[in-house]
Chain A
Amino acid sequence: MKNIMEKVMNKAQDAKLDADLILSTSKSLKMSAQNESISEYKVSSSQILGIRVIKNGSVGISYTEALDDDCLNFMLNQSAQNAEISASNPHEKIISGIGELFDDAVYPEAETDIAVKTKKALELESNVKAQDPRVVAVPHNSYSENEYTSLYLNSNGRFTSYSDKVYSITTSALLDDSGKKANFYYYDLAHTFNELDWKKVVDESLFHARNILKEKPLPTGKYHVRFSPDSLKSLIECFSNFYSAKSAIDKVNPWSGSLGEQVVSSDISIVDDPLYEYCFRTSKFDSEGVERKPLTLIENGTLKSLLHNSVTANHFKTTSTGHASRGPSSSMNVSGTHFLIQGKNKKPLPPRYLEVIQTDGLYSGANRVTGTFSVAVKGYLWENGQNIMTFGNITLSGNLIELLKKVEVVGDQIESSIDQSFFSVPLIFNDLSIAGT
């Protein structure tokens, strides 16, 4: 594969084009069980090669899924033509780093027989059904494995290679109790088959679905709220533009111009840490071949940095933080890796608070420029350390900018999202609006 990239790069350089190439390949297997039989068995593979050229200060992008000479030549010519009609951007250049970097995962595990995988996929469904007579279906139920590679080559001599393998299982429990329905799904990810926790996904989906069956709305009013790690992750990721230098250039980042200022409670700090010891593995370099390292975004409430690629770094006259994000067919962006929210204060838990375990419709109900959001939520009401009821059929609204300034309680035990991509100490926010009964 590298030979093909070098062949295209040589032609690009013959045409006096600065360029970089991304080649992504994947092989995957997915199977689902429904009604005691395998309802879906899908084996697929894909490859896509994309080129970004810079011609007279303008960017052109093109890609191909076929790697014969005709298609490669067409892709190269198309990218040069696209550059001719693009607006000039003096900040977008091919980075000057040279040398090869490799980050290819190898897991010492013998291949699991397909018969075993099939049996386990079937058991995902049957184990959910066996544990509660009210289970009427297991609508989300699958086993999948995905092996992928991403190669990067640029005209200044940078080459990187990243590959990994991910196994995942998902199941859900749809319960029906006298016409009242509840559904909750849960999943697990692992780099090896034997690390998958099959029992946990069954138990967790049933545990929460059973609780949701008993859900009631809450009276409209203001509440203390704690988000589960996955719910908080959804909220923070929905407003990822707050940390993005690209969004600052696009004038849709409310924290643009706030570097060095206090933007959140001084009780918390936020780090983007691709190398965090408990995180799910991610590439050690970004989509421009820049090596990644931990980046402090917020320190004791003060905004210290935004996420940069080389384009935003050139714009703001700083250096890339290793957060370039680009697929073979897409334009340059920035994205974070693993967020780690740390901090501590000594305030006691409030006697009464809501624990949100599920948010629905966040992206449609959020204004990413103003920070306001309104979202349907489910979860538990805690009083004096006791989980006293499950709530649902309510909406929660607030403003993330104000919310982060008003963190009331900061715990000290770091918790992880299920996919191990987001980590936070427990946070309890004050004065969130609930619309219910």
Chain B
Amino acid sequence: MGQKIAHSAVNAVDDGTIAGEWGSLSIDDEGMPTQKTTLIEDGILKNFISDRIGEKKTGHKRTGSARRQSYKFAPASRMRNTYIEQGNFSLDEILASVPNGLYAKKMGGGSVDPSTGEFNFSVQEAYLIKDGKLSIPVKGATLIGTGPEVMSKISMVGNNLLLMAGMCGSVSGSIPTTVGQPAIKVDEILVGGEA
């Protein structure tokens, strides 16, 4: 906590208070009013989301994030509307800065191991970037890496923030959440597919 874990361009929040968003709530499942929690500010880790038991165990203050699907589950600290805040670059400016890369336009599903930070996600729609311009479409690509590693390799953040609604499944069941980000440039990531 308090350490730099990402590029200084990265600001991330988990905000339960946005009116009308899919992951918003008034009061969490332990009776606490929800709030906007700054997770990363200028690349520095500022807060975790926490519930009552999480506060007892770790000392991190409750953030109105205790959520559960139904009475069949115990509340746990869960995401609400989680997103990277928008930066200053247009998508065209980001693409123009890439001599040779991959533009992952639409992501598919994937898996994450929270204990190690390892993740892998499929890419549903992607294009090669050649000399700053979109080139041919590619299929069957997957992205793998670790969260901390990728966060440190974000070098540009776009100004085109987009939020998307979804359902998040975890220890306290399936709950409505929103995730979002503007376009971001990751300087290096492993891409799998046909060699």
CB atoms of A397 and B193 under 8 A apart: yes
Q: Is the interface of B mostly helix, strand, loop or mixed?
A: strand
Whether B115 contacts A435 by the Cβ 8 Å rule is no
- Determine if B33 is an interface residue (Cβ-Cβ < 8 Å): no
B113 contacts across to A, CB distance below 8 A:
183, 360
Which residue of B is nearest A361, CB measured?
Answer: B120
Is there an interface contact between B140 and A397, defined as CB atoms closer than 8 Å?
yes
Task: Please count how many residues in chain B sit with their CB below 8 Å of the partner chain's CB atoms.
Answer: 26
Asked whether, in the complex, the Cβ of A435 is within 8 Å of the Cβ of B111, the reply is no
Q: Given the complex of chains A and B, what is the CA–CA distance between A364 and B113 in angstroms?
A: 15
Contact of A364 with B109 in the complex, beta carbons under 8 Å:
yes
Out of B74, B118, B145, B190, which one reaches A435, CB within 8 Å?
B190
| A207 to B109 alpha-carbon distance, docked (Å) | 30
Residues of chain B within 8 A of A137, CB atoms compared: 115
Is residue A146 contacting chain B, with contact meaning CB distance below 8 A?
no
Across the interface, A183 reaches (CB within 8 A) one of B115, B122, B191, namely: B115
Tell me the bound Cα distance from A363 to B195 in angstroms: 20
A376 proximal to B (CB < 8 A): yes
> Max chain A CB contacts within 10 Å: which of B113, B140, B190, B191?
B140
A393 cross-chain contacts in B, Cβ below 8 A: 144-145, 190
- Assuming A222-B195, A396-B192, is B116 touching A374 (CB within 8 A)? no
Q: Report the Cα distance A54→B141, complex, angstroms.
A: 45
Contacts of A44 in B (CB 8 A): 72
Q: Are A363 and B144 in contact (CB under 8 A)?
A: no
Chain B 42-74 interface residues, beta-carbon cutoff 8 Å to A: 72, 74
Interface residues of A in 199-252 (CB under 8 A from B): 217, 220-222
* Cα distance, A12 to B63, chains bound together (Å): 51
Q: Are A139 and B115 in contact (CB under 8 A)?
A: yes
Query: Per-residue 0/1 for A354-398: is the Cβ within 8 Å of any B Cβ (1 yes, 0 no)?
Result: 000000110111010000101110000000000000000111110
Asked if B110 is an interface residue, CB under 8 A from chain A, the answer is yes
Task: Tell me the bound Cα distance from A181 to B113 in angstroms.
Answer: 11
Which A84-119 residues have a C-beta within 8 angstroms of B?
none
Interface size classification for chain A: 20 to 34
Main secondary structure of the interface of A (DSSP, over half): strand
| With A372-B140, A433-B193, A433-B194 as contacts: A365 and B122 at CB distance below 8 Å | yes
Q: Which of A364, A394, A396 contacts B108 (CB 8 A)?
A: A364
Cβ of A220: which chain B residues have Cβ within 8 Å of it?
195
Residue A410 CB within 8 A of the other chain: no
A182 at the interface (CB under 8 A from B): yes
Q: How many angstroms from the CA of A434 to the CA of B121 in the assembled complex?
A: 16
User: Is the C-beta of A268 less than 8 angstroms from some C-beta in chain B?
Assistant: no
1/0 contact string of A333-351 vs chain B (CB within 8 Å): 0000000000000000000
Closest residue of chain A to B191, judged by CB?
A: A435
**13 more A-B residue pairs beyond the given contacts A361-B110, A361-B144, A395-B193, with a C-beta to C-beta distance below 8 A:** A139-B114, A183-B113, A220-B195, A360-B120, A361-B111, A361-B142, A364-B110, A375-B142, A393-B145, A394-B190, A397-B193, A435-B190, A435-B192
The contact sample of 11 A-B pairs, CB cut-off 8 A, is A40-B74, A44-B72, A174-B115, A174-B116, A361-B111, A365-B122, A376-B144, A394-B190, A433-B195, A434-B195, A435-B190
Listed in ascending order, the chain B residues whose CB lies under 8 Å from chain A are: 72, 74, 108-111, 113-118, 120-122, 140-142, 144-145, 190-195
Pairs A-B, 10 closest by C-beta atoms: A395-B192, A364-B109, A361-B120, A376-B120, A433-B195, A435-B192, A181-B116, A365-B122, A374-B142, A364-B122
